[in-house]
C-alpha cells in the first residue's frame, strides 16, 4: 500500500470462525501475561482489529476492493 494512502478506522460487523477468535484471545493473553493479581490486561477486540488490519494491508485489500468482480 502507498505510504501516502490515508488510513481511516471503520467499525464493522464481520463473520469469523470461532476457532480464529479463540486463537486471537489465547495468543493475546499469552503475549501480555497476567498482572500481580492474576488478571489479563489486554483488549482482545483491539488485538483482533489490529490483526485484521495487518492482514488486509499485507494481502492487498486495496486492489481486491477496487476489482468490481469481487462484489
DSSP string spanning 6-62?
PP----------HHHHHHHHHHHHHHH-B-TTS-B---HHHHHHHHHHHHHHHTTHH
Residue 4's pLDDT is 64
Residue 2 within a domain: no
By residue count, the chain amounts to 71
Range of the domain at 41: 18-70
User: Which pTM value belongs to this model?
Assistant: 0.81
Residue 62 within a domain: yes
Least Cα distance to 12 among 41, 45, 42, 54 occurs for 45
Residue 31's pLDDT is 94
Residue 48's pLDDT is 97
Q: How many domains does the chain have?
A: 1
Residue tagged 495468543 (cell numbers): 27
Amino acid at each position: 500500500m502507498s505510504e501516502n494512502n490515508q488510513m481511516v478506522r471503520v467499525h464493522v460487523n464481520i463473520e469469523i470462525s470461532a476457532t480464529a477468535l479463540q486463537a486471537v484471545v489465547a495468543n493475546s493473553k499469552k503475549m501480555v501475561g497476567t498482572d500481580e493479581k492474576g488478571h489479563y490486561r489486554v483488549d482482545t477486540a483491539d488485538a483482533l482489529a489490529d490483526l485484521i488490519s495487518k492482514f488486509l494491508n499485507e494481502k492487498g485489500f486495496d486492489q481486491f476492493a477496487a476489482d468490481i468482480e469481487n462484489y
